Amino acid sequence: MPRPQSGVLPPANRHAVFLTLLLNAGQDAGRQTRRILARIPQILEEVVASDTQAGLSCVVAIGAEAWDRLWPNGPRPTMLRRFPLVQDGARAAPRTSADLFIHVRSERADLNFDLIRSLRKAFSCCVTTAEEVHTFRYHDMRDLTGFVDGTENPEGQERVETALVGLEDAGHAGGSYVHVQRYVHDLDAWERLSVDEQERVFGRTKADDVEMAAGVKPATAHIKRVSIKDNGEELKILRHSMPYGTGAEAGLYFVSYAKTPEHFERMLIRMIHADEAGNYDHLMHYTRAVTGAAFFAPSLDFLLES
């Protein structure tokens, strides 16, 4: 089995940076970018050497349109496609432009900065920046809403089975489909709710993170809408979402890794679209997505051989 990139499977760190990039026009930009991608593991190791205990890792992922520019004659991940456009009335998940996605994380914000700076220098010849977002762990792994985030994340071997492509697409085994969205929270509106009202929006208790009983949990609760079973098995994604914020704007940078894009796509549709009974994710009253992009993170071996 080809090795995944270093940042896909490990548990969350205290600090992360999410960088989306746009390829410059012209064939040279594509050729140069491909050469730089093969150097990323070496660039990472040079920064890791300054503190091997900080858990510094990196993932680079490529969008559908950029993939064809980088490997016009090479194998393409079988399910790589653009971010889905999902809308129901005022609720929407926008698609925004991004060709490359870089996910850097560790226990030290300064090392993240060093690595991002090195990667920016390497790519300066052939890309422009779409967005750079610095994120942080909030209290005991909570979203800015005050609720624990990532409770349903798989553990152990299940992380591998959830996040990594296998022999079903042997040429891209060890890779992962990545979806990213930046959400902006309306924290003032959220904080006007009582704790009981907030818990009904999420479907879990706030203080101790206990899921509501099936007979009590509303059909509009967030965890109810994103919990999907197919032939008796729950559809899983590996979340690496992190809070971000300034005095002017704050929210969640959502990131999912999975062996197929279908799991995320089905969850997103259930969040946004009302079902026949009119149920949708009521968390959407208090947050809105302002970006959305889809990528494929090839295996480490694929990068090195590219």
**Helix (H) / strand (E) containing 222:** helix 222-225
List % helix, strand, coil for the chain (3-state, nearest 5). Answer: 30, 25, 45
| Dihedral, CA of residue 101, residue 102, residue 106 and residue 112, to nearest 10 | -130
The one catalytic residue in 143, 149, 188, 301 is 149
Say which amino acid occupies 114. Answer: D
Q: What angle do CA 280, 281, 282 make, to 5 degrees?
A: 105
SS (H, E, C) 194-221: CHHHHHHHHCECCCCCCECCCCCCCCCC
**Helix (H) / strand (E) containing 62:** strand 57-62
Cα–Cα distance for residue pair 129/230, rounded to 1 Å: 39
Say which amino acid occupies 163. Answer: A
Active site residue 275: no
Catalytic residues: 149
